[in-house]
Amino acid sequence: MNPDQAREWSPLLLLAAGAVLFVAAVSHHGQELSVLGVSAGPLAALFLDGPPALGLAYAGYWLFRSELPPWGTWKTVVWSLSGTLLLVGVMSATFLVRLSEGRTVAEPVFPLLIAAEAGGIAGLAAGYYNVQARTDARRSRTTTNALAFINDLIRHDLRNDLTVIRGHADLLSDSPGDGGGNPAVVIEKTDEALSRIETSRVIADTLIGDPAFEPVDLVPVVTELAARASNTATVTVETDLPDSAVVTANSGVRSVVDNLLENAVEHNDGDDPQVAVVVTAGAGVVRLTVADNGPGIPDDRKDTVFEPGTDGSGGGLSLVYTLVTGYGGDVWIEDADPRGTRFVVELPRGDGEPPE
């Protein structure tokens, strides 16, 4: 049983504690009935300590069936049981003080049961609201990060497209009919900008809440974006692709490929700049490799290059990392030979091929 599974089953501890307290209350007050020969006092006492014990048992059952994350159920159970131990300890300490003073402690079981149940209920409430507050704080941080990523996407990718559109539009305006600008580029970049706006919605869904993933063939995406990079930059882009490589993702995977290609092109200062893109479909995973013969990335930056604002591209590599991990994949950096950088992305296969 892994730690998450253990935490999921932890509410059974609270259910068992409540059941034990209830059985102890029934047994103790049943003995009082037989010894005292009167029913009013023991029944009143059972009415006071029986329902709270059943309430703790039910709380354990409710937590077990709740939608709290495993860490949340575990923390709530720990708070509840800690409250029980704390109040029982305090009550026991008062009894010990009385005994040390030579006083008689009459009928300690009943107050100890009340203390255990009151502590458990108080700890349960405190733990549950603490978990809710932490969950809300995490959700708020996730939303804030998602908005920051979308902002980076719009500022970085969309701004580049609009800059190209503006440049060609200015040329067309200054030299109409002289071939100073290319209307086809304007149309192409406008379509790309519209596509990025739609992609930003998909990325937001990936970063916030419960995204809908689907099988996506990576090969046509790489083919299109590699051809575009080769046509719009003085870089040779070579590809080695299978017929098909289906991954579990969504349309946001275009931004993964696009940003890796753009990073390889923009930072390549070689005399003969080249980029090699390779896709291989293995058992359970699809691997995408984007390698360049540029200056490479210093070792002291490799651990931070995926952090926001550290890659010099307005968050492009940070977005890559966030999307890839959101898809359940991984991304890392290797040194290319003899110089340059190789980005390696692994994504889960989406065609039913089982992992090794």
What is the pLDDT, as a whole number, of residue 313?
47
Burial readout 206-228 (b: 16 or more C-beta within 10 A, e: otherwise): bbbeebebeebbbbebbbebbeb
What is the pLDDT, as a whole number, of residue 217?
94
Which residues are 217's β-sheet partners?
246
What is the pLDDT, as a whole number, of residue 22?
94
What is the pLDDT, as a whole number, of residue 9?
86
pTM above 0.75, yes or no: no
Is 44 exposed, middle or buried (CB count within 10 Å of its CB: 0-12, 13-18, 19+)? exposed
> Hey, what are 23's tokens?
């059985």
What is the pLDDT, as a whole number, of residue 356?
44
What is the pLDDT, as a whole number, of residue 134?
84
Q: What are the residue ranges in the chain where pLDDT is below 70? A: 1-5, 138-139, 141-143, 145-146, 148-161, 168, 172-185, 187-188, 192, 194-210, 232-233, 308-315, 352-356
Distance CA 138, CA 97 (A): 45
What is the pLDDT, as a whole number, of residue 245?
93
What is the pLDDT, as a whole number, of residue 314?
45
Helix 253-266 × helix 316-326 angle, to 10°: 150
